[in-house]
Amino acid sequence: MRKISPDTEKAKALRKMSEKILNRVKETDEEKFPSQVLRDYYDAIRQLMEAVASLNGVKSEGVGAHQKLIDWIVDEYDFSEKKRQFLHQVRKHRNRFEYEGHFIEEGYVKRNKSEFNEIIRKLKNILDQGI
């Protein structure tokens, strides 16, 4: 993670972008398109994490940037080790889908929806305190 100047406007824009992605999640049939829904959940969570990092004046970049961002968020904001493992699992699924043509099994998103929503809620609460 690299130190940068805190940027509230960027954090607001990233949060707004994540909201648009989450609206698409609501409109997409998760049983019919589980890979796309997982990608959207991951992208929305990643943008929320980047918004938090932007508020704190830090940025992840280069090889392993998303992995570093997840680890920073978990460590900085006291997420559980279970949440760290879940976020890394989702990151790996998303990467396999994006770069290797891997499809997410039917039911995966449904089984993990509460986990996605809990993480999203916590990240939004963090942002609400800082914006």
Domains and CATH numbers, the chain: 2-130 (1.20.120.330)
The 10s digit of each residue's pLDDT in 53-108 is 999 999 999 999 999 999 999 999 999 999 999 999 999 999 998 899 889 988 99
Q: Retrieve residue 116's tokens.
A: 């996605």
Which pTM was predicted?
A: 0.95
- Please give the Cα distance from 96 to 105 (Å, whole number): 13
What are the angstrom distances between the C-alpha of 125 and each of 49, 122, 128, 130?
Answer: 12, 5, 5, 9
Local confidence band at 49 (pLDDT 50, 70, 90 cut-offs): very high
